[in-house]
Amino acid sequence: MRKNSKIAVIGGGPMGMAVAYELTLKGYKPVIFEADNRLGGMASCFDFEGLEIERYYHFHCLNDKGFFRIIDEIGLKDQLNWKKTKMGFYYQGRLYKWGSLLSVIMFSKVSFFTRLRYLFHAARCLTIKDWNHLDNVEAVNWLRKWLGEEGYEKLWKKLFDYKFYQFSNHISAAWIWSRINRLGKSRKKLKENLGFLQNGSIQLINEMSKIIKEKGGEIKISSPIINIKPLKKSGAFIKTPTDEYRFDLVISTIPLPLVGEIFSKSNINNLITNSYKKLNYVACACVILKTKKKVTNNFWTNINDSRFSIPGIIEMSNLRNLPENITYIPFYMPQNHPDYLRDDESFKEDAWKCIKAINPNLKNKDLISSHCSRYKYAQPICEKNFKDKLPDQEPFNGIFTVDTTVYYPEDRGISESIDFGRNLVKKIIKIK
């Protein structure tokens, strides 16, 4: 590729930023097109009544290598902090300790044998190196086999039901394994250690944005791409609502079904567009509450309580030093689920009811403020044999289309998106 090749990066989330960053390091001058009026995608921030905070909670694990590499390179290493975090389990109206060996052993709501099976399975997950044999296995059956019916029903079922609903029985075991493995490996002397940037993920996004611009890249926010017309040789004409551009290389990092929609509008054949549109995602309505008192001492509390369709709550102020008590309450559901049409107020009400149930000492006067952020592509639904379902990463010469599905079985994550984006650039430069 010539150094003066014109390169477009679609999407200004962590992956798009990493792609553009890597390109500028190699001497190219890419242009980022971001639909939103801010950068960061799922890792972006908002002003929560004077507190600049992420729309969705983020933490890092001890094995987030791609993330460590980039923060080291751009001089943010000293901004990374670690904390030993606590976990809880709100089970049928009572809060239990969870996550440590002892807490599982002490959890009397399942038989002792089931507790042992749970621990044995967690340990087994840490020793699996090759996940390919789990790709065509359903997670539900895999967990039932390891934990037994009681273990699955009481310890896992609600987590599936309140995230995947009708897809629960089809999730790939490889995907669940990678989640258990990631958190399991984030332990020092068996204690969970989670990391965070002093001022949140936006620090990384801002720093990357600064470097991209300093090195001659360009960033266009509020610039959604609405049309992509492939060129015969390489690249495409791409369109925003106001302008049209010609690029030799286009790298799209936006959710793949959105690429399918853009391709449809660009009259690209159905066979290609359908391979993008058929992928399913979970949407998230994520409530964030500011309260006078903390809810628990945990960072993460799993929930199994039929009154609430909430898989867990995340108390960010028990991880990061924040001036106020901040709790995230995510409501996940497949993006076409009718509940996603509920208004923000009803999600906030449900979230507050759940918080008050977990900690009955919290009264209405303790709620300072609340907010609900939404994203329709919060997580791909990785069904069994998922890797066979993914569309070609380069459907046309010089047009690459990738998103968080491409690093399956890893769950979507900042580190994974960054690492994938940077490696993709290295690969493209080698072959083009």
CB of 423 to ligand FAD, least distance (A): 13
Comparison of 139 and 286: residue with beta carbon closer to ligand FAD: 286
Give residue for tokens 């996603």: 340
Check: CB of residue 430 under 8 Å from CB of residue 22. Answer: no
Nearer of residues 103 and 227 to ligand FAD, judged by Cβ: 227
CB 388 within 8 A of CB 239: no
Least Å distance between CB 404 and ligand FAD?
5
CA gap 214, 380 in Å, rounded: 34
The b-or-e profile of 286-323 (16+ CB within 10 A means b, else e) is bbbbbbeeebbebbbbbbbbeebbbbbbbbbbbbbeee
Where on the chain is the footprint of ligand FAD (CB under 6 A)? 10-16, 33-36, 41-43, 56-59, 224-225, 253-254, 258, 284, 286, 330, 375, 377-378, 403-404, 412-415, 417
Helix residue ranges per DSSP H, 139-201: 139-151, 157-164, 173-184
Structure tokens at 206: 């801002």
Q: To the nearest whole angstrom, how small is the minimum distance from the Cβ of residue 6 to ligand FAD? A: 17
Report how far Cα 356 is from the mean position of its chain's Cα atoms: 27
Q: How far is the CB of 105 from ligand FAD (least distance, A)?
A: 27
Which helix (H) or strand (E) is 17 found in, with range? helix 14-25
What DSSP assignment string belongs to 51-68? EEEESS---B-TT-HHHH
Whichever of 157 and 179 has its CB closer to ligand FAD, that residue is 179
Nearer to ligand FAD, 362 or 378 (CB): 378
What spatial distance separates the first Cα and last Cα of the chain, rounded to whole Å? Answer: 6
Closer Cβ to ligand FAD, 138 or 410, answer by number: 410
Kindly give the residue spans of alpha helices, DSSP state H, lying in 266-359.
270-277, 344-358
Of 74 and 137, nearer to ligand FAD (C-beta) is 74
Nearer to ligand FAD, 34 or 366 (CB): 34
DSSP state letters, 391-421: PPS-SBTTEEE--GGGGTTSPP-HHHHHHHH
| Closer of 115 and 348 to ligand FAD (Cβ) | 348
CB of 102 to ligand FAD, least distance (A): 25
Q: Give yes or no for a contact between 354 and 310, defined as CB atoms under 8 angstroms apart.
A: yes
Asked if 362 and 293 count as a contact pair (C-beta separation under 8 A), the reply is: yes
165: left (phi over 0), alpha (psi -120 to 50) or beta: left
Reference 408, options 71, 67, 184, 134; nearest CA is: 134
* One-letter identity of residue 300: W
| Residue 418: CB atoms within 10 Å | 26
- Sole residue written with tokens 């507790």: 115
